[in-house]
Amino acid sequence: MIVGRLGILVVLASACGGRSDGRTAGRSDGRDSAPALGTTVRPTDRPAVLFLGTSLTAGYGLSDPSLAYPALIQAKLDSAGRSFKVVNAGVSGESSAGALARIDWLLRQNPAAVLVIETGANDGLRGQDPDSVRGRIQQIIDHAARQDPPPRIVLLGMEAMPNLGTNYVRRFRAIYPELARANGAVLVPFLLADVAGVDSLNQDDGVHPTPAGQRILAEHVWKAIELVTRR
Alpha helices in the chain (DSSP H): 5-8, 55-58, 69-79, 96-109, 121-125, 130-145, 166-183, 211-228
SS3 content of the chain, % helix, strand, coil (to 5): 45, 10, 45
* Residue type at 6 in one-letter notation: L
- Report strand pairing: 152-156 vs 112-117: parallel
C-alpha–C-alpha distance, residues 115 and 84, integer Å: 12
What phi, psi does 206 have (nearest 5°)? Answer: 80, 5
Instruction: Tell which residue, 102, 114, 157, has the closest CA to residue 133.
Output: 157
Q: What residues are annotated to the active site? A: 55, 205, 208
* Half-sphere CA count of 220, side-chain side, radius 13 A: 23
Contact (Cβ atoms closer than 8 angstroms) between residue 68 and residue 101: no
> How long a stretch of residues is the chain?
231
